[in-house]
């Protein structure tokens, strides 16, 4: 189970990086994930350099295959990240959408 | 001077009838028997292991090893993800520098196949940053990002990567302790399913069980009595950020570069003197980047160089790489890997490598990486 406190601590930082634009530095597509992410596979993960030069990882959502390329412009959005059990807390976090 | 005087490794593979400590016990008994040493002649033990605490709620392994050996001596565990074995060896060497006339046992082991791939992958992910874990990144995913970046930057394709696995599976076919002993072709690699784009199953080291042990000593009388001994010329551990994104370059492992430069300076030899090397090929891309970061190949040329297969046994090259089969074919029981690499160099330098024996090798290098490059251990041995 994911600790609710850990999620609460992390979520305070998320609002600061919402709606930020950036470019894909590199990417991969995960076919064999860890236990919590199994039901979402395969899914792409991008490493994005924001306009302020900060670097952030996130999954790419609402995408087409042609969007999976370096230099692609994306924007950060709030999405469900995982829920490790039926009763557990649902973790939300940053993902990216192609622009 | 510290010398490695013995090496034993268990079979690597899916060893369902053996527990973690069955493997540790076999490796310890094997190496002690080889050197005709009694348990009481061991002054300290360093144990490399990553996952027992995470996967099987099994910690305080140092005391379990005392129970196996039936001794009361200092025993320590080293953890640095996939570099746990290399880190344990480095600590053993450092221990000897502070204590004269001592014999130290270094054992590395991992038990991984009791668990589903998802459980093992989650356990291994403990060695990546929290942010990487939350993004659903796995180690294949992190190396996939490095590979994708490298291939685009230098205009290579997945086929360039495939040659690493072809070479290392050929070497695995010559090592009866290897997890995989089947030769494969470039076509086999390219037609295997994706694990994390652009890396496929046959670009990736397997989940394996196994244990390896070496004896390292500074006891001169004991060294003189040995038929086989090699000197530890250098062993360097360097760390870097845990997150791939925080590093200066995505397609290099800076910790490897720093550790290598220091190691060669201390060993007082040049890269050209190295005839055999075991490098950390957890994924095909990792061997190419390692060859560049170790300074054997120029940056950006590795994708092309590997297709020449000059580092494959039997091709007459001046440096043969991963004669054990590497992590790819020999298998990757995480904590054991760093010890197996040093053991393989020991076998090569003492003419015990049988079918894969490289001729006239006087110096060898072992390169062990933790995580996506957060730790690197470079060890140079010589006769």
Active-site choice (B171, B179, B332, B367): B332
For residue B135, give the nearest of A25, A29, A57 by CB distance. Answer: A57
pLDDT digits (tens, 9 = 90+) for B138-192: 999 999 999 999 999 999 999 999 999 999 999 999 999 999 999 999 999 999 9
Residues of A with CB under 8 A from a CB of B: 10, 25-38, 40, 42-43, 45, 47, 55-59, 70, 81-82, 91, 93
Interface touch B122/A40, C-beta < 8 Å: no
Taking the CA of residue A71 and the nearest CA in chain B, the distance in Å comes to: 11
Q: Which residue of B has its CA nearest to A46?
A: B145
By the 8 A CB rule, do B47 and B76 touch? yes
Q: Does the pLDDT value for residue B306 go beyond 70?
A: yes
Q: Does the pLDDT value for residue A2 go beyond 80?
A: no
pTM exceeds 0.90 for this model: yes
User: What whole-number distance in Å separates Cα of residue B221 and Cα of residue B162?
Assistant: 48
List the domains of chain A with CATH numbers.
4-98 (2.40.50)
Active-site choice (B82, B179, B280, B282): B82
- Determine whether A95 is exposed, middle or buried from the number of CB atoms within 10 Å of its CB (0-12, 13-18, 19+): buried
Whether B367 is a known active-site residue: answer: no
Structure tokens that stand for B28 in this block: 């310890």
What residues 134-153 of chain B have any CB closer than 8 A to a CB of chain A?
134-138, 140-142, 144-146, 148-149, 152
pLDDT digits (tens, 9 = 90+) for B24-63: 999 999 999 999 999 999 999 999 999 999 999 999 999 9
Q: What ipTM was assigned to the predicted interfaces of this complex? A: 0.96
Residues of B in contact with A74 (CB under 8 A): none
| Model pLDDT, residue B315 | 96
Whether B82 is a known active-site residue: answer: yes
List the domains of chain B with CATH numbers.
3-115+208-225 (3.40.47.10), 129-205+231-382 (3.40.47.10)
Interface touch A30/B196, C-beta < 8 Å: yes
Q: Does the pLDDT value for residue A1 go beyond 70?
A: no
Under the phi-then-psi rule, with left for phi > 0, alpha for psi from -120 to 50, and beta for the rest, what region is B288?
alpha
Residues of B in contact with A42 (CB under 8 A): 194
Percent of chain A, pLDDT > 70? 99
How confident is the prediction for chain B on average, in pLDDT? 97
Tell me the helices (H) and strands (E) count for chain B, helix number first. Answer: 15, 12
Q: Using alpha carbons only, how large is chain A's radius of gyration in Å?
A: 14
Interface touch A34/B193, C-beta < 8 Å: no
CA angle A8/A11/A12 to nearest 5° reads 95
């Amino acid at each position: 189970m994911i600790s609710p406190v850990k999620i609460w601590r992390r979520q305070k930082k998320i609002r600061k990086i919402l709606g930020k634009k950036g470019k894909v530095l590199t990417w991969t597509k995960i076919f064999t994930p860890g236990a919590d992410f199994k039901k979402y596979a395969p899914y792409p993960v991008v490493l994005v350099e924001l306009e302020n030069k900060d670097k952030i990882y996130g999954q790419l959502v609402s995408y087409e295959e042609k969007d999976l390329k370096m230099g692609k412009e994306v924007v950060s959005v709030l999405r469900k990240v995982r829920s490790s059990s039926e009763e557990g807390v649902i973790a939300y976090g940053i993902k990216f959408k192609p622009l | 001077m510290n010398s490695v005087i013995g090496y034993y490794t268990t079979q690597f593979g899916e060893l369902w009838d053996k527990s973690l400590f069955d493997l540790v016990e076999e490796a310890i008994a094997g190496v002690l028997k080889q050197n005709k040493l009694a348990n009481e002649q061991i002054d300290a033990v360093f144990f490399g292991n990553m996952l027992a605490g995470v996967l099987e709620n099994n910690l305080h392994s140092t005391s379990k090893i005392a129970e196996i050996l039936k001794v009361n001596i200092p025993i320590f565990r080293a953890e640095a993800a996939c570099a746990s074995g290399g880190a344990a060896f480095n600590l053993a060497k450092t221990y000897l520098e502070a204590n004269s006339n001592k014999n130290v046992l270094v054992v590395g082991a991992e038990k991984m196949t009791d668990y589903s791939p998802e459980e093992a992958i989650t356990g291994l992910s403990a060695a990546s940053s929290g942010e990487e874990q939350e993004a659903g990144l796995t180690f294949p995913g992190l190396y996939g990002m490095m590979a994708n970046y490298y291939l685009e930057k230098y205009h290579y394709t997945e086929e360039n990567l495939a040659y690493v696995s072809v070479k290392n599976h050929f070497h695995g076919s010559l090592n009866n302790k290897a997890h995989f002993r089947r030769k494969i072709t470039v076509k086999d690699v390219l037609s295997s399913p994706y694990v994390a784009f652009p890396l496929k199953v046959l670009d990736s080291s397997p989940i394996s069980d196994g244990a390896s042990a070496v004896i390292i000593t500074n006891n001169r009388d004991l060294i003189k009595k040995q038929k086989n001994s090699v000197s530890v010329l250098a062993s360097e551990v360097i760390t870097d950020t845990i997150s791939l994104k925080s590093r200066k370059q995505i397609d290099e492992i800076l910790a490897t570069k720093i550790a290598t430069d220091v190691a060669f300076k201390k060993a007082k030899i040049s890269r050209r003197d190295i005839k055999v090397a075991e490098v950390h090929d957890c994924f095909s891309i990792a061997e190419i980047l390692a060859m560049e970061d170790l300074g054997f190949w120029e940056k950006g040329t590795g994708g092309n160089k590997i297709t020449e297969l000059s580092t494959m046994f039997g091709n007459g090259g001046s440096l043969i790489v991963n004669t054990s089969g590497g992590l790819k074919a020999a298998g990757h029981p995480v904590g054991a890997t760093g010890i197996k690499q040093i053991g393989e160099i020991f076998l090569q330098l003492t003419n015990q490598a049988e079918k894969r024996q490289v001729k006239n090798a006087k110096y060898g290098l072992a390169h062990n990486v933790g995580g996506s490059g957060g730790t690197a251990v470079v060890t140079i041995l010589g006769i």
